[in-house]
Amino acid sequence: MSTPVAFSAREEVRPVVPKLVELSETVLYGDVWERPGLSKRDRSLITVAALVAMYRSDQLRGHIERALANGVTRDEIGEAITHLAFYSGWPTAMTAARIAKSVFDQRK
């Protein structure tokens, strides 16, 4: 299941990279996210952490939304961001915190 932000981003680029969007929908979300080895909650937390560490703020918003929908709490997202500040850098954590705040504020 896609979040509205992720869905609209895919629709925006579909005309340019239709195969990439197809692979995202069928392989990534249709297969990898459905594997039984990790819960969707755990996959979401891992994905948020990876996006924070790699400074991928364009994708972070949608994955924070997905993480909340998959049961990751706001406190856990905050703790992950704080923890990552010491491994991926202060700027990545501060940017992630601003994005998380924006997502949290929109969900009030």
Which token pair is 88? Answer: 């991926």
Please provide residue 9's backbone torsions phi and psi, each rounded to the nearest 5 degrees: -65, -40
Kindly report the pTM of this predicted structure.
0.88
pLDDT tens track, the chain, 108 positions: 445 666 678 899 999 999 999 999 999 999 999 999 999 999 999 999 999 999 999 999 999 999 999 999 999 999 999 999 999 999 999 999 999 999 999 998
63: which residues sit within 8 A by CB, 6+ positions away?
A: 6, 44, 47, 48, 51
Q: How far, in Å, CA of 64 to CA of 74, rounded?
A: 9
Q: Walk me through the domains of the chain, giving residue ranges and CATH numbers.
A: 1-35 (no CATH), 39-108 (1.20.1290.10)
Span 32-58, pLDDT tens digits: 999 999 999 999 999 999 999 999 999
